[in-house]
């Protein structure tokens, strides 16, 4: 099983490497006020992928902290109830 997982990681790496090599053309992103960004396509794709992952993680951080606080509160309640048994 361990070798299968390593093989799949290697295949994924090779797929992404060939994707990167084939997408090196320079593209232009045009913004408001005539601002333009010239960069290789793969760089732009990776930038927006990382940006999307960061936004997704930031959206989940508040909920994770709230759940942690709730878990701690429930553990305290459970320890108090266990003392009465």
Domain extents in the chain: 2-84
Mind listing the pLDDT tens digit for each residue in 35-83? 898 998 888 888 999 999 999 999 999 899 999 999 999 998 888 877 7
| Position 19 confidence tier, pLDDT thresholds 50, 70, 90 | confident
Give the CA distances from residue 68 to residues 55, 61, 73, in Å, rounded to whole numbers and listed in that order: 21, 11, 9
Burial of 40 (0-12, 13-18, 19+ CB in 10 A): middle
Give the CA distances from residue 28 to residues 23, 40, 42, 68, in Å, rounded to whole numbers and listed in that order: 14, 9, 12, 44
């Amino acid at each position: 099983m361990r070798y299968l997982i390593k093989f799949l990681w290697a295949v994924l790496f090779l797929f992404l490497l060939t994707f990167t090599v084939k997408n090196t053309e320079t593209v232009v992103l045009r913004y408001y006020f005539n601002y333009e960004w010239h960069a290789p396509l793969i760089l732009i794709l990776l930038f927006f992928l990382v940006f999307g992952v960061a936004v997704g993680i930031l959206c989940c951080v508040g909920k994770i902290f709230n759940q942690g606080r709730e878990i701690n509160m429930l553990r305290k309640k459970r320890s108090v109830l266990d003392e009465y048994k």
